Amino acid sequence: MKPRHLLLITAVTAITISAISATGAWASDRYATRPPVVMSPDLAAPWVMQLEQPRYYYPAPSFTPQRYYAPSQKTRRVAVRRAPGMRSTPGMRGTPGMAADQPPRYREVTYRRPAQRAVRRSEDRPQRQMNPIYLPQTVDYDGPHKPGTIVVDTARKFLYLVGPNGKARRYGVGVGKEGFGWRGTNPITRKAEWPDWRPPAEMIARERKNGRVLPVHMEGGPANPLGARALYLGSTLYRIHGTNAPWTIGTAASSGCIRMRNEDVTDLYERVKIGTKVVVM
């Protein structure tokens, strides 16, 4: 054997003995400083770091069918899920409970994936925000009515509480839809907080034809269509009242009543009294 070969073997042996000694030191002293781990250049190459890790797929969650376009079908390989902490069963590799060192078994699963929900056009969606122009504000008033009178402008969807010195408090309102509008003058004959609702017989019959069943009586509350307050007009069936659909303010959507936001009708309720004159024009 050549001398240089003997020299190389001696160096390798010395390194090995040093490593064994160091390992023994680490085992006896947990506070010892470990040398950094140095990976082989082959193992640290970029192509190794970019290898994709194995993935495990599970059945997709269920969904409630709604308005969807035609769904699509897709087949994928799914790994059988392991039950951690269980021992493997002889002759049943790839089944739930298999040992962690055994490779997973795959099976073909076909998913019926729901497609994107059908989106309605923007013009078909109900308006959910009220135009800020219909918020309460103090405006100039030069009409013929005396202070303390309520004037409802059904064309512009505004209600005015006439005040002194050529001023009026203006609110946005919802008015009767086409065929249900009306004009007239009536006093406030009754005031009610969180009123109950008894739809007229003709309204119940009309809505039934449209496929909507109205209750004979509904207690007052947030879900009640009359809202937080109601001002009854003369001996008619019409009222100035709140609403549980504030986005309809500024539109013609009622069956003849004058509807306001709950906040606004509550404010008006505190400012007027029974006998106040109401002019609907």
Q: Are 214 and 203 in contact (CB under 8 A)?
A: yes
Residue 29 CA neighbour count, 13 Å, CB half = 10
Q: Which tokens go with 215?
A: 């209750």
**For the stretch 53-79, what's the b/e string if a residue is b when 16 or more beta carbons lie within 10 angstroms of its beta carbon?**
eeeeeeeeeeeeeeeeeeeeeeeeebb
Alpha helix ranges (H) inside 71-199: none
CA distance 75 to 77: 7
Q: Which tokens go with 199?
A: 């739809």
CA distance 162 to 139: 10
Cα Rg of the chain (Å, integer): 40
CA distance 269 to 262: 10
Phi, psi of 170 (to 5 degrees): -110, 135
User: Which residue is listed with tokens 């140095």?
Assistant: 38
Does 5 qualify as catalytic in the annotation? Answer: no
Please give the positions annotated as active site.
Answer: 241, 257
